[in-house]
Amino acid sequence: MSIDRREFLKFAGASTLLGLGGITAVQELLKTSAGASHVMVDEKALSAKRWAMVIDISKFKTEADYKNVVQACHSIHNVPDIGNPKDEVKWIWTDTYEHTFPGQGNEYMPEGLKHKPFLLLCNHCEQPPCVRVCPTKATFKRKDGIVMMDQHRCIGCRFCMAACPFGARSFNWRDPRPFIKEQNPEYPTRTMGVVEKCTFCFERLAKGLQPACVEKSNGGLIFGDLSDPNSEVRKVLSTHYSIRRKPEIGTQPSVYYIIGGSENA
Amino acid sequence: MYNSGKIITGLIIFVGLVATPFFYNSGKTSVKPEPGIDTPAIRQLAEKQCVEPREFMKANHMQLLNDWRDSAVRDGSRIYVNSQGKQFTISLQNTCMHCHSNKAEFCDKCHTYANVKPYCWNCHIAPKENKT
């Protein structure tokens, strides 16, 4: 059967129309949300323009003060205790003044500070270099300033670990599950081959709770909205002298340290 | 025809090899899996319905879970309002598996049948099986 030019054009036009209809049908199929369903943020959720944390060093006196905070974080987030510095996974940990604030110490600083442990965690930088280098956007900065990790997307390339100037990220060299003493069924574990770090307890903020470490710190850690002049963090920062880690790099960390305590303010 | 004997024998062996799986499985009936929803939490539900109707969940649970993970992790929206206006917390571990605590019966049965190996459980903690 042969068709003339006119027949062909008619057929082609009709197929185009049908084709367009086909595309909308495909789009319709891709839309899997049933009917009027939608997602929303919990009404109880805490929100901010820029979350920040202030660490008041004077409130940490005994070893137990540090341990409580670290324990609170690591137990609820199923952070494994591998017991080997090479494979170690950590979200919040301690180190010396010299390591925490390189170049900011001097020979005759108070003895108490020289050997005092300092709490370290992800700084949730304003300009996070880890986010810039992540090839899969597994790590990203949320609108509220939290530098988040999407473990589903992490391919374990560890560019972010190389980029982070604070060593805040840990890589899972081994399956973490056997090293978790007591699993918290509320929160997932991680798997071998992904990077992880502190998330400012985004899952607790979503439920209207303060981060776990802040809750357990007896006022040593203060958490709040840096953009709100009436927030607790702003009040503390405006009345105390504070320093941040490696400010010269320009990443603008959101974790502030009050070194002298209130008497030296 | 040159070497017809060898060629034909070779062909017969080849066809035989290729058809082995068909012979191997012929006569065996594969039973369609019927995932069980009998768990203590579901038994107590007045209306036994998931976050969406059963037919929708059957066809789209994977897409729904994918959307859920994006909205919870990336957008921070953790409340799902279904087509009937009912609210649910977006969480595989705490919402889905609370009702479907019989993972072996409910998830694995179909996934094994379809040879689908989702890696959800590499991170998400599967519920301890409730055998009551």
* Digit-coded pLDDT (tens) for A160-190: 999 999 999 999 999 999 999 999 999 999 9
Q: Are A256 and A52 in contact (CB under 8 A)?
A: yes
Q: What is the pLDDT of residue A23?
A: 58
State the alpha helices, DSSP H only, in A91-247.
97-100, 111-114, 129-133, 159-163, 202-205, 212-215, 232-239
Q: What is the pLDDT of residue B39?
A: 85
- pLDDT tens, A35-70? 678 888 888 889 999 999 999 999 999 999 999 999
Phi-psi region of B32 (alpha: psi -120 to 50; beta: other; left: phi over 0): beta
Decide if A45 and B78 are in contact by the 8 Å CB cutoff.
Answer: yes
ipTM: 0.78
What are the φ/ψ torsions at residue A25 (nearest 5 degrees)?
A: -60, -40
Whether the pLDDT of residue A72 is over 90: the answer is: yes
> Region A236-258: what's the mean pLDDT?
94
- pLDDT tens, B38-92? 888 888 888 888 999 989 999 999 999 999 999 999 998 999 998 888 899 999 9
CB contact B117 to A (< 8 Å): no
Decide if A188 and B73 are in contact by the 8 Å CB cutoff.
Answer: no
Contacts of B32 (CB under 8 A, 6+ apart): B113
Alpha carbon B32 to its chain centroid, in Å, reads 13
Q: What is the pTM of this model?
A: 0.80
Decide if B93 and A189 are in contact by the 8 Å CB cutoff.
Answer: no
Query: A182 to chain B: nearest residue by CA?
Result: B125
How sure is the predictor about A34, in pLDDT bands with cuts at 50, 70 and 90?
Answer: low
Smallest CA–CA separation between B99 and chain A, in Å?
14
Q: What is the pLDDT of residue A44?
A: 87
Q: What is the pLDDT of residue A264?
A: 46
| Residue in A29, A30, A31, A37 to test binding to B, most B beta-carbons within 10 Å | A37
CB contact B44 to A (< 8 Å): no
Whether the pLDDT of residue A31 is over 70: the answer is: no
The least confident of A28-37, A100-109, B100-109 is A28-37
Write out chain B residues lying below 8 Å of A140, CB-based: 74
